[in-house]
């Protein structure tokens, strides 16, 4: 059976030719993202701002569209509705109302009056500023710990230059994701943090594939200029990179358009992350090996012929 290659065998795209332009563009976008975060900020969701949680149960399968219409019409600000467990169980999140506990209770009474006896109210909770600040701290800690652990793994698995390159690319992806959420005013909540961590895992996987091919080619081609060797490695893995990205994007686009409001922010973050993660693996992580003067001496113990594949290699 004949295999169809997405990228023709022997493709020789000069990616490193664009590395300086890519570095300037990425630096400008990262600075812009940081400026948006500092001056415009993020549209924090109830998880981070605090608010009201109301759990209800309907007699029959919940009509989410009708429930959302009724609750949104109460003028209580940001409202989220989410099915969980059975299709009769719904969790309503309402942003924290201005004022003290009395204002929160007034909002709850408005919801109960609007929904009437058609539903049963099973639980009502208030997420205060203290809890929300703890969630912010936990989210930042989770991202930083993930980046640190990945740095240590790549450093142990390869060399320190690879570790630094991978973490810089990951930081680039995280900053760009925060920037796009700030620019578009999309809600930033715990599911967004989950998306960022997933993006980090996806991006590091793509970067490791490229780095593994770079290391393999460093052992095969002792005298090939590093610039050409990285181009060769990127072209070798390009088909795999594009196939993985395209198939992942297909699934994410279906989630984005048909998955409902609850996971729209998560799926958008993942779509953006796949695009920027693929870009950073090629134009951020790989060129950094050149800028950091990757040492070839670590591969001198391989008994290979200069400029030709190692013995036994295909």
Is residue 310 included in any domain, yes or no? no
Question: Do residues 59 and 88 make contact, with C-beta atoms less than 8 angstroms apart?
Answer: yes
Is residue 302 included in any domain, yes or no? no
- Specify the DSSP element, H or E, that contains 209: helix 190-220
Distance separating alpha carbons of residues 191 and 262, to the nearest angstrom: 9
Residues in contact with 28: Cβ distance below 8 Å, sequence separation at least 6, in sequence order: none
Domain edge (last residue) among 104, 127, 150 = 127
Give me the pLDDT at residue 305, please.
40
Looking at the fold, whether 207 and 283 belong to one and the same domain comes out as yes
Looking at the fold, whether 122 and 193 belong to one and the same domain comes out as no
Is residue 255 included in any domain, yes or no? yes
pLDDT band at 31 (very low <50, low <70, confident <90, very high): very high
Q: What is the DSSP letter of 28?
A: H
Looking at the fold, whether 36 and 76 belong to one and the same domain comes out as no
* pTM recorded for the entire structure: 0.76
Residues in a beta bridge with 123: 55
| Side-chain-facing half-sphere of 135: CA atoms under 13 Å | 20
How distant, in Å, are the alpha carbons of 75, 100, 172, 177, 260 from that of 273?
34, 39, 11, 7, 20
Distance separating alpha carbons of residues 233 and 281, to the nearest angstrom: 12
Is residue 171 included in any domain, yes or no? yes
Looking at the fold, whether 157 and 232 belong to one and the same domain comes out as yes
Q: How confident is the model over 166-191, as pLDDT tens digits?
A: 889 988 998 999 999 999 988 888 78
Is residue 204 included in any domain, yes or no? yes
Q: Can you tell me the mean pLDDT for 140-145? A: 82
Task: Give the CATH number of the domain where residue 284 resides.
Answer: 1.20.1640.10
Distance separating alpha carbons of residues 113 and 116, to the nearest angstrom: 5
Is residue 312 included in any domain, yes or no? no
Shortest CA distance to 163 belongs to which of 174, 172, 152, 171?
152
Looking at the fold, whether 65 and 208 belong to one and the same domain comes out as no
Q: Which region, left, alpha or beta, applies to residue 260 given φ > 0 means left and ψ of -120 to 50 means alpha?
A: left
Looking at the fold, whether 83 and 190 belong to one and the same domain comes out as no
Task: Give the CATH number of the domain where residue 108 resides.
Answer: 3.30.70.3400
Is residue 35 included in any domain, yes or no? yes
Distance separating alpha carbons of residues 43 and 187, to the nearest angstrom: 5
Is residue 237 included in any domain, yes or no? yes
Looking at the fold, whether 88 and 232 belong to one and the same domain comes out as no
Q: How confident is the model over 6-18, as pLDDT tens digits?
A: 666 677 889 989 9
Looking at the fold, whether 31 and 106 belong to one and the same domain comes out as no
Looking at the fold, whether 145 and 268 belong to one and the same domain comes out as yes
Question: Do residues 107 and 97 make contact, with C-beta atoms less than 8 angstroms apart?
Answer: yes
Give me the pLDDT at residue 82, please.
80
Domain edge (last residue) among 103, 127, 151 = 127
Q: 291: how many CB neighbours lie within 10 A of its CB?
A: 11
Determine the number of helices (DSSP H) and then strands (DSSP E) in the chain: 10, 6
What total of structural domains would you count in the chain?
Answer: 2
pLDDT band at 296 (very low <50, low <70, confident <90, very high): low
Give me the pLDDT at residue 226, please.
86
Domain edge (last residue) among 85, 105, 127 = 127
Q: How confident is the model over 62-84, as pLDDT tens digits?
A: 888 888 888 888 888 878 888 77
Q: How confident is the model over 201-255, as pLDDT tens digits?
A: 888 888 888 988 988 888 888 788 888 999 999 998 888 888 888 999 999 999 8
Question: Do residues 193 and 143 make contact, with C-beta atoms less than 8 angstroms apart?
Answer: yes
Give me the pLDDT at residue 298, please.
56
Looking at the fold, whether 290 and 162 belong to one and the same domain comes out as yes
- Specify the DSSP element, H or E, that contains 257: helix 226-258
Give me the pLDDT at residue 64, please.
86
Looking at the fold, whether 203 and 256 belong to one and the same domain comes out as yes
Length of the chain: 314
Residue 88 has pLDDT above 60, yes or no: yes
- Report the interhelical angle of 190-220 vs 160-184 (nearest 10°): 150
Looking at the fold, whether 102 and 177 belong to one and the same domain comes out as no
Residue 122 lies in domain? 51-127
Q: 79: how many CB neighbours lie within 10 A of its CB?
A: 20
Give me the pLDDT at residue 306, please.
42
């Amino acid at each position: 059976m004949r295999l169809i290659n997405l990228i023709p065998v022997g493709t020789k795209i000069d990616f490193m030719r664009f590395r300086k332009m890519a570095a300037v563009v990425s630096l400008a976008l990262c600075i812009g993202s940081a400026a948006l975060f500092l001056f415009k900020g993020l549209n924090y969701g109830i998880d981070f701002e605090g608010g009201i949680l109301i759990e209800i149960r309907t007699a029959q399968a919940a009509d989410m569209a009708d429930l959302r219409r009724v609750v949104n019409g109460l003028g209580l600000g940001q409202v989220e509705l989410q099915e969980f467990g059975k299709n009769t169980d719904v969790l309503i999140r309402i942003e924290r109302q201005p004022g003290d506990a009395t204002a929160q209770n007034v909002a709850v009474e408005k919801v109960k009056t609007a929904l009437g006896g058609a539903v049963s109210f099973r639980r009502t909770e208030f997420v205060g500023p203290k809890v929300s600040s703890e969630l912010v701290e936990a989210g930042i800690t989770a991202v930083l710990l993930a980046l640190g652990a990945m740095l240590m793994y790549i450093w142990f698995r390869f060399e320190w230059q690879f570790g630094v390159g991978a973490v810089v690319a990951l930081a680039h992806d995280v900053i760009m994701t925060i920037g796009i959420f700030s620019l578009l005013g999309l809600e930033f909540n715990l599911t967004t943090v989950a998306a960022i961590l997933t993006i980090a895992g996806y991006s590091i996987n793509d970067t490791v594939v490229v780095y593994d091919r770079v290391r393999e080619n460093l052992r095969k081609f002792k005298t090939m200029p590093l610039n050409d060797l990285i181009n060769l490695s990127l072209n070798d893995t390009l088909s795999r990179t594009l196939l993985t990205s395209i198939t992942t994007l297909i699934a994410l686009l279906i989630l984005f358009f048909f998955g409902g409001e609850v996971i729209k922010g998560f799926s958008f973050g993942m779509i953006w992350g796949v695009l920027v993660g693929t870009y950073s693996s090629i134009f951020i992580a790989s060129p950094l090996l050149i800028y950091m003067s990757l040492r070839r001496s670590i591969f001198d113990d391989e008994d290979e012929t200069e400029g030709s594949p190692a013995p036994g290699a295909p």
